[in-house]
Structure 1
Amino acid sequence: MTSGKGRPSCGERVVYLSSGRQDFSHRKPIMPDVKISETNPIHYQDATTLAALIRTKEVSSREVVQAHIDRVAAVNPRINAVVTLMAADALAAADAADKAVADGADLGPLHGVPFSIKDALDTAGVLTQRGSKLFAGHVPTTDATAVARYKAAGGIPLMKTNLPEFSAWTETDNLLTGRTNNPWNLARTPGGSSGGESAAIAAGLSPIGIGSDVAISVRGPAAFTGIAALKATQGRVPYTGHYPSIIRRWWHVGAMARTVGDVALGYSILKGPDGVDGYAVHPRDADAGASRIPGRPLRIGWVADAAFGPVDPEIVAAVASAASRLADLGHEVEPVTLPFLGNPLGALMTLIYAEIVPSIKALAAGREGELHAIGAGIVGMADPAFADFLAAEAQGEDLRSAFAGFFERYDVLLTPVNPMTATPHGAQELVVGGVTVPWTHVMAATSPFNLTGLPALSVPYAFSSEQLPIGIQLVGKWLDEATLLRLGAMLERKGGLGDRHPAL
Structure 2
Amino acid sequence: MDSDLCYASARELAGWLRAGQLSAVEVVRAHLDRIQRLDPKVNAIATLVAEQALDAAAAADKRFASGAEPGPLHGIPMAHKDTHDTAGIRTTYGSPLLAENVPERDELVIERLKAAGVITLGKTNVPEFAAGSHTVNPVFGATRNPYDPGKSAGGSSGGAAAALACGMVPLAEGSDMGGSLRNPASFCNVVGFRPSPGRVPTWPRPLAWSTLAVQGPMARTVADAALLLSVLAGPDPRSPIAIAEPGSVFTGALDRDLRGLRVAWSPDLGGTVPVDRGVREVLEPSVRVFSDLGAVVSVDCPDLSGAEEVFRTLRAWQFASTFGPLLAHRDQLKPSLVWNIEEGLKLTGSDIAEAEVLHTNLFHRVREFFERYDILLLPVSQVPPFDVELEFPREVAGEPMHSYLDWMRSAYFVSATGCPALSVPGGFTTAWMPVGLQIVGPHRADRMVLEVGHTFEQATGFGTVRPPLVTS
Per the normalisation by structure 2, the TM-score is 0.91
Q: What is the letter of the counterpart of residue 461 of structure 1?
A: G
Q: Structure 1 268/227 Cα, relative in aligned 2: closer, same or farther at 3 Å?
A: same
Q: Which residue of 1 aligns with 2:296?
A: 332
Q: What is the letter of the counterpart of residue 449 of structure 1?
A: V
Name the SS for the 2:78 alignment partner: strand
* Displacement after TM superposition at 1:394 (Å): 2.1
Out of 211, 223, 227, the position equivalent to 2:190 is: 227
* Displacement after TM superposition at 1:300 (Å): 1.6
Name the SS for the 2:411 alignment partner: coil
Name the SS for the 2:92 alignment partner: coil
Out of 179, 201, 223, the position equivalent to 1:261 is: 223
Q: Structure 1 358/254 Cα, relative in aligned 2: closer, same or farther at 3 Å?
A: closer
Q: Which residue of 2 aligns with 1:356?
A: 319
Aligned 8 A contact 1:193 1:221 in 2: yes
Which whole-Å CA distance do the structure 2 matches of 1:489 and 1:318 have between them? Answer: 19
Q: Which residue of 1 aligns with 2:445?
A: 480
Out of 280, 300, 309, the position equivalent to 2:273 is: 309
Out of 125, 143, 159, the position equivalent to 2:106 is: 143
Out of 50, 68, 74, the position equivalent to 2:37 is: 74
**Residues 306-351 of structure 1, C-alpha deviation per residue, up to 9 Å, x if partnerless?**
525322233324433333222222222222133x212523420111
Out of 419, 431, 436, the position equivalent to 2:382 is: 419
Which whole-Å CA distance do the structure 2 matches of 1:181 and 1:498 have between them? Answer: 19
Aligned 8 A contact 1:240 1:277 in 2: yes
* Displacement after TM superposition at 1:75 (Å): 1.5
Q: Which residue of 2 aligns with 1:34?
A: none
Q: Which residue of 2 aligns with 1:119?
A: 82
Q: Which residue of 2 aligns with 1:445?
A: 410
Q: Is the helix fraction higher in 1 or 2?
A: 2
Which whole-Å CA distance do the structure 1 matches of 2:188 and 2:466 have between them? Answer: 10
Q: 5 Å matches for 1:173-192?
A: 173-192=136-155
RMSD: 2.5
Aligned 8 A contact 1:318 1:462 in 2: yes
Q: What is the letter of the counterpart of residue 470 of structure 1?
A: V
* Displacement after TM superposition at 1:434 (Å): 4.4
* Displacement after TM superposition at 1:159 (Å): 1.6
Q: Which has the larger displacement, 54-63 or 83-92? A: 54-63
Out of 204, 229, 240, the position equivalent to 1:278 is: 240
Out of 330, 335, 341, the position equivalent to 1:373 is: 335
Q: Which residue of 1 aligns with 2:455?
A: 490
Q: How many residues align?
A: 460
**Residues 355-395 of structure 1, C-alpha deviation per residue, up to 9 Å, x if partnerless?**
31254231342x22222333333455452244433332222
How much identity, in percent, do the aligned residues show? Answer: 36
Q: Which residue of 2 aligns with 1:251?
A: 213
Structure 2 stretches lacking a partner, 5+ long: 251-256
Q: Which residue of 1 aligns with 2:58?
A: 95
Q: Structure 1 285/500 Cα, relative in aligned 2: closer, same or farther at 3 Å?
A: closer
Aligned 8 A contact 1:318 1:495 in 2: no
Q: Which residue of 1 aligns with 2:254?
A: none
**Residues 390-430 of structure 1, C-alpha deviation per residue, up to 9 Å, x if partnerless?**
33222221110101101111111111100111111325444
Q: Structure 1 371/415 Cα, relative in aligned 2: closer, same or farther at 3 Å?
A: same
Q: Structure 1 86/285 Cα, relative in aligned 2: closer, same or farther at 3 Å?
A: closer
Name the SS for the 1:176 alignment partner: coil
Which whole-Å CA distance do the structure 1 matches of 2:127 and 2:247 have between them? Answer: 34
Which whole-Å CA distance do the structure 2 matches of 1:374 and 1:66 have between them? Answer: 39
Q: What is the letter of the counterpart of residue 311 of structure 1?
A: V
Which whole-Å CA distance do the structure 2 matches of 1:211 and 1:429 have between them? Answer: 23
**Residues 79-98 of structure 1, C-alpha deviation per residue, up to 9 Å, x if partnerless?**
11111112112111211222
Name the SS for the 2:371 alignment partner: helix
Which whole-Å CA distance do the structure 1 matches of 2:153 and 2:268 have between them? Answer: 23
Q: Structure 1 310/238 Cα, relative in aligned 2: closer, same or farther at 3 Å?
A: same
The answer to whether 1:455 aligns with 2:455 is no
Aligned 8 A contact 2:286 2:427 in 1: no
Which whole-Å CA distance do the structure 2 matches of 1:121 and 1:69 have between them? Answer: 21
Out of 319, 326, 330, the position equivalent to 2:283 is: 319
